[in-house]
Amino acid sequence: MIRYRAAWVLPVAGRPIASAVVSVDRGVIVSVGGPSGGAVEDLGHVAILPGLVNAHTHLELSWLRGRVPPSTSMPAWARTLIGLRRGLGGAADPVEPIVDAVAAARASGTCLFGDVTNSLAAWDPLRESDLSAAVFAELLGFSAKEPETIVKVALEGFADVTPAESLRLSLAAHAPYSVSPALLQAIGRGNPDRPLSIHLGESAQEIEFLRQGTGEWRALLEALGAWNPDWIPPACGPVEYLDRLGLVHDRLLAVHGVQFTDDELARLARARATVVTCPRSNRWTGAGEPPIDRFYASGARVAVGTDSLASVDDLNLFAEMAEVRRLAPRVPASRILESATLAGAQALGFGSALGSLEPGKRAELLAVRLPANCGDVEEYLLSGIEPSDVTWLEADSR
């Protein structure tokens, strides 16, 4: 048994506790804030909190860091990214930047990823790390001829990776403008009982595409030879479109939602779906500012992600929380912290093991150094914590 005392303990499942003790035994939390009988390691002026959850990344794109400049048009940003990726000439995404990105995310306090992949290139770096992940095998195809076969091949590919207790596979659809309705439905059928991720309501151009079938996304599909002339625009918003196809449910992670209306958010809330916000990426790609106040007001579950290093400077979730705070100054700090921990863990299917400090959960404990007069500890944690102030606590008896 190890017992840690800290100036503040943030269970996330309850209010912060001053001068409290967390007890762990063989990697599992035994008690939080309880009596401290026995020897206690006093950590001093730090806050103990659960490891953070980055609910949306693409680790395999880490080699694109700094190579896709910020844009005012998301389709233009995507064109640059697609061009660079095609420049690999079919070669795998380089692994070394993935290893570095995972290590940097760990050093800044992340214990769980929701990682979207086309190549499974991040599987082994994740397996060899201390992190857990819901790994989403992402499918694309707007003019795909045999959607059931595409899903079957993807699911068969799950058998090719070395299994790991900390990693779980499920399917993702890229976006409504890049996946045909038939393939969206096939993905839904092929992914029962698992989380499902999709980029949704990200850019204004996506809304134009769904309502009228025109605009920059259509031009990009045509340029790529992927346009389907038989496709009839649904003439509705992205959430209603997905709902018609049977994909709005409590396992859905709707990533970005910059364009969501209040009605769409209410529909997601009724379905107990999750909105994953990545505000720094939204600014970089030109998608705009996400309506974070409205996300929280809607009652939908809100999680936080960084997106990939092709649209953000780092995978530090503390930096992402600082941007959430900047855009939504009236949202209680406790709710933003919950989004970056428990809500993300629940959305990714790891809620029983991670995301909060509760007896029986895995002891993924962060200690964050506090300044002498930090005032409101929750607010301080949203101010942009640097990795140099973050320490992982030993969870096994020595």
Q: Who's near 215: CB < 8 A, 6+ residues apart?
A: 205, 208, 209
Contact call for residues 13 and 357 (beta carbons, < 8 A) = yes
Binding segment toward Zn ion, per CB under 5 A, in 210-218, 267-275, 299-307, 322-330: 299-307
Residue (178 or 339) nearer to Zn ion, CB = 178
Find the shortest distance in angstroms from Cβ 106 to Zn ion. Answer: 20
Binding segment toward Zn ion, per CB under 5 A, in 45-53, 172-180, 300-308, 346-354: 300-308
Q: For residue 382, give the 3-state DSSP assignment.
A: coil
Residue (49 or 324) nearer to Zn ion, CB = 324
Q: In the structure encoding, which two tokens stand for residue 4, read together?
A: 């840690």
Find the shortest distance in angstroms from Cβ 257 to Zn ion. Answer: 12
Name the closest residue to Zn ion (Cβ).
307
Give long-range contacts, CB 8 A cutoff, 24+ apart: 36-42.
36/3, 36/5, 38/1, 38/3, 39/3, 40/3, 40/4, 40/5, 41/2, 41/3, 41/4, 41/5, 42/5
Binding segment toward Zn ion, per CB under 5 A, in 65-73, 93-101, 285-293, 301-309: 301-309
Residue (69 or 225) nearer to Zn ion, CB = 69
Q: For residue 4, give the 3-state DSSP assignment.
A: strand
Q: Does residue 307 interact with Zn ion by CB under 5 A? A: yes
Q: Does residue 202 interact with Zn ion by CB under 5 A? A: no
Find the shortest distance in angstroms from Cβ 209 to Zn ion. Answer: 17
Find the shortest distance in angstroms from Cβ 56 to Zn ion. Answer: 6
Binding segment toward Zn ion, per CB under 5 A, in 63-71, 305-313, 350-358, 385-393: 305-313
Residues 60-99 that bind Zn ion (CB under 5 A): none
Nearest to 379 by CA among 4, 5, 8: 8
Rg from Cα positions in the chain: 21
Find the shortest distance in angstroms from Cβ 305 to Zn ion. Answer: 8
Residue (172 or 370) nearer to Zn ion, CB = 172
Query: Which amino acid is it at 342?
Result: L
In DSSP terms, 50 is beta-bridged to: 365
Find the DSSP H helices in 120-275: 123-127, 147-157, 181-190, 204-212, 216-223, 238-244, 262-270
Q: Does residue 115 interact with Zn ion by CB under 5 A? A: no
Q: Rounded to an integer, what distance in angstroms lies between the CA atom of residue 28 and that of residue 44?
A: 22
Binding segment toward Zn ion, per CB under 5 A, in 184-192, 303-311, 319-327, 364-372: 303-311
Find the shortest distance in angstroms from Cβ 66 to Zn ion. Answer: 17
Residue (180 or 308) nearer to Zn ion, CB = 308
Total residues contacting Zn ion by CB under 5 A comes to: 1
Query: Which amino acid is it at 166?
Result: S
Q: Rounded to an integer, what distance in angstroms lies between the CA atom of residue 392 and that of residue 107?
A: 8
Residue (4 or 123) nearer to Zn ion, CB = 123
Residue (340 or 365) nearer to Zn ion, CB = 340
Residues 265-284 that bind Zn ion (CB under 5 A): none
| Phi, psi (deg, nearest 5) at residue 148 | -60, -35
User: Which residues here bind Zn ion, judged by CB under 5 A?
Assistant: 307
